[in-house]
Amino acid sequence: MWLIWTVLIGIIAGWLAGQVVKGRGMGVVVDLIVGIVGSILGGFVFGLLGLAAFGLLGRLVMSFVGAVILLLLVRALKRA
């Protein structure tokens, strides 16, 4: 069940991050995939900082932060 919630929250976070990080996008599908991976990255980053996310809203914020970081990284590498 945890994996299903992580994927669903990652999809929502990826879409939100794609809306926030404008520019030459790579498409909605890539944004959603980056959101799913960003969800895991957000958990890792928050863990390193000693922060914890509880509940749906907390996990969404954590996933959103991870997705934004990952989208910025991917778009910077794409330009290089």
Q: What are the tokens at 70?
A: 């990952």
Pick out the chain residues at pLDDT < 50.
Answer: none
pTM (2 decimals)? 0.82
- Cα distance between residue 50 and residue 35, in whole Å: 22
Structural domain count of the chain: 1
Terminal CA-CA length for the chain: 39
Q: What is the pLDDT of residue 35?
A: 81
Domain that holds residue 33: 2-79
Contact 38, 14 (CB under 8 A): yes
pLDDT reported for residue 24: 61
